[in-house]
Amino acid sequence: MVLITQIKVISSLEKLYDSDKIPERELKNFSVLKNEKKSFQVALEACEEAEAEIKVVSDFKKVNSYSVEGVKSNLPMWDKGADNYYRFSKSGYYPDLLLPVKDKVSLKKGVNVFWFEVDGADCEAGKHKLEVSIGEKTVSVDCEIIDAELDFSDFVYTNWFHSDCLMSHYGFEAFSDEYWRVVENFLKTAREYGMNCVLTPIFTPPLDTEKGGERPTVQLVDVTLEKGKYSFKFDKLTRWIEMAERCNIDCFELSHFYTQWGAKNAPKIMATVDGDYKRIFGWDTNANSREYKEFLEAFSVELKKYLEGKNLKDRVLIHVSDEPNLFMLPQYRKASKYIHKLFEGYKIVDALSEYLFYKLKVVSNPIPATDHADKFLGNVNNLWVYYCSAQKNHFVSNRFFCNDSIRTRVIGYQLYKYDIKGFLHWGYNFYYKRLSKGVVDPFTDSDAGKAFPSGDSYIVYPAKDGTPYHSLRLKVFYDALQDMAALKTLEKLSDKKTCLDIIEQKGKINLTFREYPHEDAWLLDTREEVNRKIKDLIG
C-alpha cells in the first residue's frame, strides 16, 4: 500500500516546485464551453517512493492524464533588467514537461503533481463529476459543460515552426518520408493548441543565424538557373500546404526575404546552376545587389502566379526582415519598399517595436512587442503583438519556466481588451543554441545553451516516436487564447462594455499589458463569471 498523507485538486495555474507545499485553495468545480479544453491538477504528498495505480472515472470520452516533470534550467531569467515578478532566479529543476500516464505512476517521496485535461466536446451540456484515484486516495471535481462555443474567428496565432530543428534532433533528411511524418505530427499538436498560421520556409529562414553561418537547408522551392535564366518548381511547397491544410492550418507565413536585424543580406538560397546544386545567395550577398534584385523580381512573378492560382493570396503573410531597430531604418526602408513593390496587394508584416517605422510608412503592418504596444494602440488597424526573451520587465506576460502561470495566461484578457488580431512568437520548437551554433537536447538544455531564459525557445518536447510531448506552458497559453475567445462569444451575446466590466470589475481594475492583478483567483473567478453570463444569455 502506498501511504499518501495529502491529496488535493488544484487549478491549472498552480506551479509546484520541489520546495513547495500543496496550496490551501482547492479546486472544487469549473465550467467549460463545448469546444473548449479544460485542465486541472491533482497534487499529493507521498511518504516514500512507490508505484501506484491511477484511474479516472467520468462521463468524458477521454481524459488526458500526465505527470508534471521538472526540467533543468541553467538560466531561468536574465541577471539584469528584469522586474521582481518571478518565482525563482536560480538554476534548478522547474515544472514544465507533461509526460502521458495511463494505469500506473511512479511516485517520489514528497510532493507529486498530475495534470488532467478534458474536452467539452466529449460530453453533453450539463453537470458532470470527475473522480481521480491515485493509490488508496480518491478526489473529485465537478464540471459543468455550457452549450455554447468559443469564438476564435478573426484571430491569427503563429509560433515559428522550425523543421530543421526536428531534422537535427531526430537525424532524418529534409523531405524524406520521416521528415514529412514528424513535421505533420508536430504541426497537428500546434494546431490543436491554437496555432492557425505556420512559418513556411520557401527558403531556409534567415532567423537566429550567426553571420557567415547557415542552418540546414529546408527550402521548399526548387530553383534552377540555366544559361542565365531562372525557373522555379513548387512541388515541395504544394506538399507542405496540403499537409498544413490536413492539420486545419488557415494561414501561411512565408519566410523572410532578408536577413534578421536590418535586412542587410539575402537569405540562404540554393539552386541548381547549369546542373550543379549549390548556394547562390547568403551572407555574402548584399541585399541591394543587382543579382539579388533580379532574382527576387523573377521569383516574385512566379510565386504570385502560384499563390493566386491556388487562391492563397489572402491567406499569405509576407516578411521583409525580423526585428529591425532605429539604427537599421535606412537599409530596412530600402528593402521594405522593394518588397512592397513586388508584392503589392499582399499583406506584409514584420515584428518591430519602433513606432517611427509605421509613422514613416516604412512598414504597413507592424507587430510590436507587448511592452511597446501602447504606442501602436489606436493608431494601427488590425494590430498584432508578440513577445520573446526581451519582454522581461514591466510585468508583461511571458512564458518562461520561472513565470507564475497567471503571467502567461493573462495575455488572453489583454488581447481581448485591445482587440488584438494576431499573436506571434518565435519558438515553437527551436532546439538550437543561440544563433543556431549547435544542437541542444531540450530535455536537459532548456535555455539554448544559457542564451535565453528557459521556456523562451520552445513549447513542446521531441518524444522518441516523432511526436511532441506537451509542456505545461503549451496548455496554459492555449487557456489564454480560450479566455480571449470566450469573451468574444460573450460580446456577441451582449456588448464589449459588459465584457470589460467583468474583467476590470466595473473600473476597479485597470487592465493593460503591464498592469493586472497578480492573483490566480482573479483570473479564474473572472473566467467563471464570463461563462455564467454566457449561460444566462443563451437561456
Other Cβ atoms closer than 10 A to 152: 17
**SS3 state at 526:** helix
Q: What are phi and psi of 291, to 5 degrees?
A: -60, -45
Task: Give the pLDDT mean for 391-415.
Answer: 97
Q: Which pTM does this prediction carry? A: 0.97
Burial class (CB in 10 A: 0-12, 13-18, 19+), 271: buried
Are the beta carbons of 162 and 208 closer than 8 angstroms? no
pLDDT band at 17 (very low <50, low <70, confident <90, very high): confident
Domains of the chain: 4-146 (2.60.40.10)
Task: Give the pLDDT mean for 314-331.
Answer: 97
The grid coordinates of residue 222 equal 526548387
pLDDT exceeding 90 applies to what percent of the chain?
Answer: 97
Those residues whose C-beta lies under 8 Å from the C-beta of residue 310, and which sit 6 or more positions away, are 238, 241
Q: Which amino acid is at 411?
A: I
Mean pLDDT of the chain: 97
Those residues whose C-beta lies under 8 Å from the C-beta of residue 80, and which sit 6 or more positions away, are none
Strand order across the beta sheet in which 104-107 lies: 29-33, 137-146, 126-134, 50-57, 104-107
Those residues whose C-beta lies under 8 Å from the C-beta of residue 378, and which sit 6 or more positions away, are none
What was the pLDDT predicted at 19? 72
What was the pLDDT predicted at 79? 87
Are the beta carbons of 98 and 478 closer than 8 angstroms? no
In eight-state DSSP terms, residue 439 is B
The grid coordinates of residue 70 equal 521538472
pLDDT band at 1 (very low <50, low <70, confident <90, very high): low
State yes or no: pLDDT of 18 exceeds 80. no
pLDDT digits (tens, 9 = 90+) for 256-276: 999 999 999 999 999 999 999
State yes or no: pLDDT of 12 exceeds 90. yes
Those residues whose C-beta lies under 8 Å from the C-beta of residue 53, and which sit 6 or more positions away, are 103, 104, 133, 134, 135
**SS3 state at 293:** helix
* Out of 88-92, 117-121, 223-227, 495-499, least confident range: 88-92
Are the beta carbons of 353 and 513 closer than 8 angstroms? no
pLDDT digits (tens, 9 = 90+) for 174-210: 999 999 999 999 999 999 999 999 999 999 999 999 9
Are the beta carbons of 209 and 260 closer than 8 angstroms? yes
Those residues whose C-beta lies under 8 Å from the C-beta of residue 537, and which sit 6 or more positions away, are 490, 493, 494
SS (H, E, C) 92-110: EEEEEEEEECCCEEEECCE
Are the beta carbons of 517 and 524 closer than 8 angstroms? no
CA distance 145 to 147: 6
CA distance 344 to 367: 19
Task: Give the pLDDT mean for 484-496.
Answer: 98
Are the beta carbons of 94 and 401 closer than 8 angstroms? yes
CA distances to 229, 266, 278, 438 from 291, rounded to whole Å, are 12, 10, 16, 31
CA distance 401 to 94: 6
What was the pLDDT predicted at 10? 98
Are the beta carbons of 140 and 129 closer than 8 angstroms? yes
CA distance 381 to 167: 38
CA distances to 17, 27, 37, 128, 137 from 54, rounded to whole Å, are 22, 19, 21, 20, 10
Q: Which amino acid is at 381?
A: N
Q: Angle CA(304)–CA(309)–CA(310) in degrees, nearest 5?
A: 105
Those residues whose C-beta lies under 8 Å from the C-beta of residue 169, and which sit 6 or more positions away, are 431, 439, 441, 462
pLDDT exceeding 70 applies to what percent of the chain?
Answer: 100
